[in-house]
Amino acid sequence: MNTELEAALAALRRGEAIGLPTETVYGLAADASRPDAVRRIFTLKGRPADHPLIVHLGSAAQMDDWAVDIPESARVLAKAFWPGPLTLILRKQPQVPDEVTGGQSTVGLRCPDHPLALQLLQAFGGGLAAPSANRFGRISPTSAAHVRAEFGESVPVVLDGGDCAVGIESTIVDLSGDLPRILRPGRIGRAQLEALVGFVAEGASGDSPRASGTLEAHYAPRTPLLMLPRAALESEALQQQVLGKRVEVLCLDTLPEGLPGLALPRRASDYEHGLYAALRELDARGVNLLLAERPPESEDWLAVHDRLRRSAAGAGQDAT
């Protein structure tokens, strides 16, 4: 094992939180079996204590250590998609700390598809509770540098696993109720899930477990953000400029002539890969308004719509 991994392992065993690379976004990870370690995550993030965290596992064989009454559908999905960007909500084992589940009767489990994370998890042996490594409500980190920018010296150990391949958070599927239900859209879409387990509902129901990724205002830049179709975006930008406001745009494929900003590829998975880094970069330019071009309406863009909509809802508020 290399020295970075050893340092990370030692920090986890001391009950500290570390920056953990995964294929989706970076996590802020601590020993999921230790309430004191999990509480540190909440303090560092500034996150309300009743928001549940995902427990990361080294393999699907560990599912039974954390969950009970595991339905066949969970085994099928874990076999097909783990390691990978899929979180399963299951009924929890009694010994899972309330700090991890927000006091709920369910637990979120996922096996991340990243070589460093898997090596660390296998050496650690237990589960690692890890939310995204950003301050509460803010943009998720997709590089080690983003994690350092969020937490600085308060999180001294950040494992550098490069840029996250997926770039947006895992799909969350609740398997604790009557029907499988997508609580948060991600790279693994509804059709892929339905091909294996039949009908899958979309969106939280009244009695669904709470998920902070399902709060309206989330993933937000400090700069106000609006999502508009391209033509409306161009005229809004020009109007703002006439008023003396500074504007940056986030567009598909190309930038409209004369407008500053960034363009991301017109392919959902490539767009997802670049989204959070682009939002961070545009936010750092310190302008008055960000304008994001509305992506296509097709199924494969669902997760992007979800993240942009929430970014727009939370933008411009100086929350932590």
Residues that bind Mg ion (CB under 5 A): 132
Q: Which residues of the chain form contacts with ligand TXA (CB under 6 A)? A: 22, 24-25, 27, 51-54, 87, 89, 101, 104, 106-108, 110, 112, 130-132, 169-170, 172, 183, 209-213
| Nearest-approach distance from CB 132 to ligand TXA, in angstroms | 4
Burial class (CB in 10 A: 0-12, 13-18, 19+), 55: buried
Backbone angles phi, psi at 226, to 5 degrees: -125, 145
| Nearest-approach distance from CB 140 to Mg ion, in angstroms | 6
CA-CA distance, 45 to 234, in Å (whole number)?
Answer: 36
Residue 24 binding: pick among ligand TXA, Mg ion, none (C-beta 5-8 Å cut-off by kind): ligand TXA
Closer to Mg ion by Cβ: residue 132 or 223? 132
Closer to ligand TXA by Cβ: residue 19 or 295? 19
Closer to ligand TXA by Cβ: residue 140 or 223? 140
| Nearest-approach distance from CB 68 to Mg ion, in angstroms | 26
What Å distances lie between residue 35 and 40, 272, 278, CA to CA? 9, 33, 35
Residue 53 binding: pick among Mg ion, ligand TXA, none (C-beta 5-8 Å cut-off by kind): ligand TXA
Q: Is 301 in a helix, a strand, or coil?
A: helix
| Nearest-approach distance from CB 307 to ligand TXA, in angstroms | 11
| Nearest-approach distance from CB 294 to ligand TXA, in angstroms | 24
| Nearest-approach distance from CB 188 to Mg ion, in angstroms | 17
- Written as six digits, the tokens of 232 are 């409306």
CA-CA distance, 154 to 174, in Å (whole number)?
Answer: 33
- Identify the CA nearest to 138 among candidates 273, 53, 44: 44
| Nearest-approach distance from CB 8 to ligand TXA, in angstroms | 15
Q: Is 210 in a helix, a strand, or coil?
A: coil
- Written as six digits, the tokens of 183 are 């609580």
Residue 130 binding: pick among Mg ion, ligand TXA, none (C-beta 5-8 Å cut-off by kind): ligand TXA
Closer to Mg ion by Cβ: residue 82 or 136? 136
Q: Is 31 in a helix, a strand, or coil?
A: strand
CA-CA distance, 282 to 299, in Å (whole number)?
Answer: 27
Residue 22 binding: pick among ligand TXA, Mg ion, none (C-beta 5-8 Å cut-off by kind): ligand TXA
Closer to ligand TXA by Cβ: residue 54 or 182? 54
Residue 222 binding: pick among ligand TXA, Mg ion, none (C-beta 5-8 Å cut-off by kind): none
Q: Which residue has the tokens 């700090």?
A: 99
Contact indicator for 196, 77 with CB cutoff of 8 Å: yes
Closer to Mg ion by Cβ: residue 86 or 247? 86
Contact indicator for 129, 54 with CB cutoff of 8 Å: yes
CA-CA distance, 41 to 75, in Å (whole number)?
Answer: 29
Q: How many CB atoms lie within 10 A of CB 192?
A: 15
